[in-house]
C-alpha cells in the first residue's frame, strides 16, 4: 500500500483543509435532515396485522406507547433457511441503538414476511434481542415495496427505491418511519438501498480507516459481508 508520506506540519495543513470540507458536509447533512422532517405525511388507512412475540398485533400496537415508530424491513421470506447476510449485518447494530431510541420517543421493530416460527429460529441463532414480527399474510411488505409478487417478478420489473427496475430477489431491504398524531397514524419516510448506509455503524467506522470500505475490487459492494457466526477468526 503506497501513500504519500509528509512531515507533521504538512499533515496538519492537509488535515485542516479536510476539516473544512467535513464541517461543510455536516452542515449539508443537517440541512438534508431538516428537509426530511419537512416531508408531507400520508395517513395510514389499512389495519395491518402482524404476528409478534405476544400474539397478533396491529400496526398501532407496534408503537408500544411511543409516538414514533421505525420498522426495518428484513429480507427473510417464507421458507428461507436463513436471513439475508446484508440485513444481518445491519441487524447486528440494532440492539445497541434500541434503548437510546426509546429515550427519544421512538419504538423500533423489525418485520419480515417469513412466519414467526422461522423468524424466531433465525433470531435465536443470531442472538438478537430486538422485537421482530411477521407480516405474513398481510399487504404490509407489498405496500411498502419490499416484497414482490411472482407476477411482478415474472414481468421483469418491480418498484423499488422509487423506481422501476430488476431486482434479484422477491424480498428487499428498507426502513419505514411512522408517527401517531391526533389519534391517527401517518407514514413519514421510507428509505432503501444505499439510503440504509446511515444506520450501519460499522460502515461509518470503516469510512474513517485508511483503506475505507475496501470494496472496489469486489463483484458487488457487500460481497465481503457474512453473518456474524460465519466469519473466520482473525
- Output the DSSP codes for 50-64: EEETTEEEEGGGGGT
| Structural domains in the chain plus CATH codes | 42-199 (3.40.30.10)
Average confidence (pLDDT) over 212-224: 96
Give the H or E element holding residue 152.
helix 150-154
Average pLDDT of the chain, as a whole number: 96
Kindly state the cell numbers that stand for 210: 485508511
If you average pLDDT over residues 134-152, what whole number do you get?
96
Task: Give 132: exposed, middle or buried? Use CB within 10 Å, 0-12, 13-18, 19+.
Answer: buried
User: 53-106, pLDDT tens digit by residue?
Assistant: 999 999 999 999 999 999 999 999 999 999 999 999 999 999 999 999 999 999
Position 17 scores a pLDDT of 98
Query: Which pLDDT band, with edges at 50, 70 and 90, does 156 fall under?
Result: confident
**pLDDT computed for residue 233 by the predictor:** 79
Q: What does the pLDDT read at residue 210? A: 95
What span, in angstroms and rounded, lies between the C-alpha atoms of 76 and 210? 34
Amino acid at each position: 500500500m503506497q501513500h504519500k508520506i509528509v512531515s507533521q506540519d504538512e499533515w496538519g495543513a492537509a488535515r485542516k483543509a479536510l476539516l473544512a470540507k467535513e464541517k461543510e458536509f455536516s452542515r449539508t447533512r443537517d440541512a438534508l435532515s431538516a428537509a426530511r422532517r419537512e416531508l408531507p405525511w400520508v395517513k395510514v388507512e389499512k389495519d395491518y396485522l402482524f404476528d409478534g412475540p405476544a400474539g397478533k398485533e396491529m400496526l398501532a400496537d407496534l408503537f408500544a406507547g411511543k409516538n414514533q415508530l421505525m420498522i426495518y424491513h428484513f429480507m427473510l421470506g417464507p421458507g428461507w433457511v436463513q436471513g439475508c447476510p446484508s440485513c444481518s449485518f445491519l441487524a447486528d447494530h440494532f440492539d445497541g441503538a434500541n434503548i437510546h431510541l426509546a429515550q427519544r420517543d421512538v419504538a423500533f421493530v423489525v418485520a419480515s414476511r417469513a412466519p414467526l416460527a422461522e423468524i424466531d429460529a433465525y433470531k435465536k441463532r443470531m442472538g438478537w434481542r430486538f422485537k421482530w414480527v411477521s407480516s405474513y399474510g398481510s399487504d404490509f411488505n407489498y405496500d411498502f415495496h419490499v416484497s414482490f409478487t411472482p407476477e411482478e417478478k415474472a414481468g421483469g420489473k418491480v418498484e423499488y427505491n422509487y423506481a422501476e427496475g430488476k431486482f434479484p430477489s422477491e424480498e428487499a431491504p428498507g426502513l419505514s418511519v411512522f408517527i401517531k398524531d391526533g389519534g391517527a397514524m401517518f407514514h413519514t419516510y421510507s428509505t432503501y438501498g444505499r439510503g440504509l448506509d446511515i444506520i450501519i455503524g460499522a460502515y461509518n467506522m470503516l469510512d474513517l480507516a485508511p483503506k475505507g470500505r475496501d470494496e472496489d475490487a469486489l463483484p458487488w459492494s457487500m460481497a465481503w459481508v457474512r453473518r456474524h457466526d460465519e466469519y473466520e477468526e482473525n
